[in-house]
Amino acid sequence: MADELLLVLSKGLEPGRAKTRLIPACGEAGADAVHRQLLAATLRHGVASGRPVECHLEGDRRLAAETLAVPDVAWRPQAAGDLGWRMQHALACAHAAGASRVVLIGSDCGALTADYLTRAFTALTRYDFVFGPAEDGGYVLIGSALPSPWCGAPVFTGCRFGGSDALADSLRCLAPHGRVVQLATLWDVDDAASLARARRAGYLPPG
């Protein structure tokens, strides 16, 4: 196991499984296409960062690997449970396998680059945890250089994921365990307005 490891948490590529908030704007097929584009770009940025990449997928891993065809990605199953527990399980497994610094991201942030990932890993040489805040009050990245919090009881109990309190709640949960730093704020692609923004910025091809 490498000293640094990047984890990507994502839904699978089965029709209608991801990006459901985009369906009214671009249909199920269009939403599926956006999900594939975002996940492929995320994996490519991860590989470009120079760290080993594991994609923890909630779906058919063979389908995703064959469809996206991004080399140098290891495909893993996600744990069962809510988002907090799935993140905790992935971080715990990575640390248990020998990684000292682990960064976990989703697949929804078109603005996330290899350089941003490198800044997260660099932050973990000085801090115990790092977050990449999102404009909507959530976060696009969480990183850990401290294995101990992930190996016991649920860490994110009471966190209101999916809304404007996700980052604040997660910071509250982790603050007793160690030193936390935040990176620059980015934004997710999760509705028609942010999809149009991503296309204007060149993160996604024109619709």
Residue 162 — very low, low, confident or very high, per pLDDT cuts 50/70/90? confident
In a domain, 49, yes or no: yes
The mean per-residue pLDDT over the stretch 15-31 comes to 92
The reported pLDDT for the residue numbered 7 is 98
pLDDT tens sequence across 89-124? 999 999 999 999 999 999 999 999 999 999 999 999
The reported pLDDT for the residue numbered 92 is 97
In a domain, 206, yes or no: no
The answer to whether residue 2 scores a pLDDT higher than 70 is yes
In a domain, 188, yes or no: yes
The reported pLDDT for the residue numbered 1 is 60
CATH number at residue 58: 3.90.550.10
- Percent of the chain at pLDDT exceeding 90: 95
The reported pLDDT for the residue numbered 22 is 94
The reported pLDDT for the residue numbered 179 is 97
* Chain mean pLDDT for the chain: 96
- Name the E strands within the chain: 4-11, 53-58, 73-77, 101-105, 129-133, 139-144, 180-182
In a domain, 128, yes or no: yes
The mean per-residue pLDDT over the stretch 34-56 comes to 97
| 132/105 Cα distance (integer angstroms) | 9
Q: Give the C-alpha distances (Å, rounded to integers) separating 120 from 24, 36, 64, 132, 135.
A: 35, 24, 26, 8, 18
The mean per-residue pLDDT over the stretch 146-167 comes to 94
Look up tokens 């149009």; give the residue.
196
The reported pLDDT for the residue numbered 163 is 86
The mean per-residue pLDDT over the stretch 150-175 comes to 95
In a domain, 195, yes or no: yes
In a domain, 51, yes or no: yes
Q: Which residues span the domain enclosing 114?
A: 4-200
In a domain, 113, yes or no: yes
In a domain, 207, yes or no: no
- How many structural domains is the chain composed of? 1
